[in-house]
Amino acid sequence: MSSPDAERWDARYRDAAIPQLLSPPELVHAELADIATLAPVLDVACGWGDAGLWLADQGADVTLTDVSAVALAAVEARASELGVMVNTVARDLATGSIPAGRWDAITCVHYLDRALLPRLGGALSPTGRLVVAVATTTNLERHERPSARFLLEPDELPTLVPDLTVTHHSEAWRANDVHEAWLVAQL
């Protein structure tokens, strides 16, 4: 049985056009362009899968997870079109476990779950990197969505990964016209 979150997100993805162009998030491109071939990567709350599909195209062994089976079906179709292999896992990470493995990279883009972020460090390999990009409340100065409950407060993001060493953190208006907090962290 699907959850109310899964049903809501399935409806949202079912009613939207699947993006044709692969556009990896700027932070993922900058921080993970050097990802090793066959490196295990987890893309959390992947949506259309731009981060994970781009990483798979770079040669990484990517698992994408999302609460929406509709989104994951679109990811699988896009992967087929690109000629890349990916694994998909339908899972509500707010109530379920992180897919098993020791990940060389975990990406979390445009998804805020304050209880999940601290748990992601435990799934990293000893040299793995957590890469997070989430909008902040400053974004409301230009855009009414997402609402404040899905936005970070200024300088909040580093506090959500207390067991990791933050190697990069910044907050600014980005090229996508979203005020985002960016974070890269390691064990």
Per-residue model confidence (pLDDT) at position 87: 97
Three-class HEC string of 21-54:
CCCCCHHHHHHHCCCCCCCEEEEECCCCCHHHHH
Q: Quick one: average pLDDT of 3-20?
A: 77
Q: 32, 27, 47: which is closest to 171 by C-alpha?
A: 27
Ranges of each domain in the chain: 23-63+101-186
Write out pLDDT tens, residues 26-79. Answer: 999 999 999 999 999 999 999 999 999 999 999 999 999 999 999 999 999 999
Q: Which CATH architecture has domain 23-63+101-186?
A: 3-Layer(aba) Sandwich (3.40)
Tokens (6 digits) for 48: 């259309």
**Residue 10 backbone phi and psi in degrees, to 5:** -60, -45
Write out pLDDT tens, residues 71-100. Answer: 999 999 999 999 999 999 999 998 889 999
Non-local (6+) Cβ contacts of 65 within 8 A are 42, 43, 44, 45, 46, 88, 89, 90, 91, 93, 99
Strand order in the sheet with 103-109: 87-90, 61-66, 40-44, 103-109, 124-135, 179-186, 165-173
Count other Cβ atoms within 10 Å, centred on residue 103: 25
Tokens (6 digits) for 25: 């998030």
Q: How confident is the model at residue 1 (pLDDT cuts 50, 70, 90)?
A: very low
Helix pair angle (50-57, 69-82), 10° resolution: 30
Write out pLDDT tens, residues 109-162. Answer: 999 999 999 999 999 999 999 999 999 999 999 999 988 999 999 999 999 999
Comparing 9 with 114, which gets the higher pLDDT? 114
Residue 105 contacts residue 60 (beta carbons within 8 Å): yes
